Amino acid sequence: MKTKERIERHYGTGRILEAIKQGLQATGKDLGNLRVDDVSDVDEFHLGGRVASEHFFPKLSLQPGQRILDVGAGIGGGARFAADTYGVSVTGIDLTSEYVQAGREISDWTGMSEKVELNVGDATHLEFDDASFDGAFTMHVLMNIENKATAFAEVYRVLKPGSVFGIYDIVQRDPGDIAFPVPWADEASSSFLSTSEEYVSELESAGFNVEKVEDRYEFALGYFKMVREKMANAGGPPPLGIHLLMGESAKTKLGNVAGNLEAGLISSCEFIARKS
């Protein structure tokens, strides 16, 4: 099966927008008058959601008016957060067409369509000119990409010299087999976890200077504990959450992430790299 087909089959549910609409309505949100923050419980599809973004984005040195690339933008939560918070224009690409369609609609609802452009695209083959972006970021995408070196080389190519590339990803921590399914893959053949040392080495081989690596293991553990307690108190998942993006097996996938974290097999990690 081709990569795009495999990824779309994994992430697409056929009813993402409908599920988000229902979730927003159940939480009393007015679809005709939505702010970026109103959607953040569901559109930031990475460990720690908005809380993790608020920790990650300040390190990207974003300045108003810059043109920024979001590699694997999903339904565009990170892109809208960056555009709304820092006044940058964001171009997001993602392999899953259903996410791109849903993301465009949510940008319309939140009045962000002029600042955020979402298109179908592949991180390992970026359809942009050399040196066309002032910065780039990617969150929780590279676990789906076997050939990270190609993606890093592509991001390096499209960045202007001196630009920052930030990565927030799940990495392999201790050696060992993780439990599946997880939110990014149903089985081992679709999951390509690397250690943080491997990320650094491949970023450097692509030409980047790696300025900062921050392991977020304790944060990740604490975040899952908090989510579990919240769900136990509420008697189930909230109407609006990233489980809406994970289909029928959402509960198992999230449980496996928690188990893999507790076993010390995975961690979340930030990397800040710069094109010299």
Ligand X SMILES: C[S@@+](CC[C@H](N)C(=O)[O-])C[C@H]1O[C@@H](n2cnc3c(N)ncnc32)[C@H](O)[C@@H]1O
Asked whether position 184 contacts ligand X by CB under 6 A, the answer is yes
Site for ligand X in 97-126 (CB under 6 A): 99, 122-124
CB of 49 to ligand X, least distance (A): 8
Asked whether position 223 contacts ligand X by CB under 6 A, the answer is no
Beta carbons within 10 angstroms of residue 57's beta carbon: 19
Quote the radius of gyration of the chain (alpha carbons, Å). Answer: 18
- Which of 47, 83, 141, 227 is close enough to bind ligand X by CB under 6 A? 141
| Cβ burial, residue 128 (10 Å; 0-12/13-18/19+) | middle
Q: Which stretch binds ligand X (CB under 6 A): 137-145, 156-164, 205-213, 248-256?
A: 137-145
Asked whether position 46 contacts ligand X by CB under 6 A, the answer is yes
Asked whether position 44 contacts ligand X by CB under 6 A, the answer is yes
CB of 130 to ligand X, least distance (A): 19
Peptide bond into 181 cis (omega under 30): yes
- Which of 74, 166, 181, 239 is close enough to bind ligand X by CB under 6 A? 74
Asked whether position 144 contacts ligand X by CB under 6 A, the answer is yes
Nearest CA among 45, 105, 34 for reference residue 77: 45
Asked whether position 165 contacts ligand X by CB under 6 A, the answer is no
Asked whether position 94 contacts ligand X by CB under 6 A, the answer is yes
CB of 9 to ligand X, least distance (A): 11
Q: Which stretch binds ligand X (CB under 6 A): 54-62, 73-81, 127-135, 219-227?
A: 73-81
Q: Is the torsion defined by CA of 250, 251, 255, 258 positive or negative? A: positive
CB of 123 within 8 A of CB of 138? Answer: yes
Asked whether position 24 contacts ligand X by CB under 6 A, the answer is no
> Could you please report the per-residue DSSP string of 31-76?
TTS--GGGGHHHH--STTHHHHHHHHGGGG---TT-EEEEET-TTS
- Which of 19, 36, 69, 73 is close enough to bind ligand X by CB under 6 A? 73
Angle between helices 217-234 and 250-262 (to 10 degrees): 140
Q: How far is CA 216 from the centre of its chain?
A: 15
Residues of the shown chain interacting with ligand X in the complex, contacts defined by CB under 6 A = 7, 11, 44-46, 72-74, 77-78, 93-96, 99, 122-124, 139-141, 144-145, 183-184
